[in-house]
Chains A and B, each alone.
Chain A
């Protein structure tokens, strides 16, 4: 089945220790997104890629970076995690970035910062 895969499902890191979360997709979609979700709140968009074109949300901290080496993979790098970065991180994809397109989400990675 075509899908969005996130690894690992659970990640524990230490305060200030860089961490990378991974997302892959078999849908061959052009757009990949990273969201942060805290405590059952609404997901907050951090950034997205349209193909290789990177787009940062204005309020995304510099501590968060992303890479998309090819169509299938996208990574979220947190350079120096703080306690406030503990959250569920959701990857999503869509074919295009237009109004009618559906975003499909992966299962998420729950990040714990000690």
Chain B
């Protein structure tokens, strides 16, 4: 079965510093990978996805993610963190092994950006 792992429950970074939120995946076949962000008491907002092509994917709010096939990783990055980036971040992969390709989420990483 397809799966993703987010090894860090929480990431702390100072405002203005670069941030990385880690995600590794385990899939059979080509991975379709997604990042979502969730602010308190809100739904999930789509940030970006990797389907094929360029390993560096650019998304919303200045976020980008790097697909690394050899390391089976899809880390989320931003060059300069903002306090308003503080939220819960979910990595997800499409389970293409089944007829209905449902989204399988990681456990989430809480990002705290300090002023």
Contact = CB atoms under 8 A, between A and B. Distances in A.
Contacts, number: 57
A2 interface: no
Interface stretch (B11-19, B38-46, B64-72, B75-83): B38-46
B100 A41 contact: no
A90 B41 CA distance: 11
A102 B34 CA distance: 8
A43 B51 contact: no
A105 B42 CA distance: 9
A19 interface: no
Given A43-B105, A98-B101, A110 B41 contact: yes
Contact of B110 (A4, A6, A40, A43): A40
Interface in A60-96: 88, 90, 92
Determine the interface band of chain A, counting residues with CB < 8 A from chain B.
20 to 34
B102 A42 contact: no
Interface string B76-112: 0000000000001010001010001111011110100
Given A42-B107, A100-B51, 10 more contacts: A40-B110, A41-B107, A42-B106, A42-B108, A43-B90, A43-B105, A45-B102, A102-B46, A105-B43, A105-B46
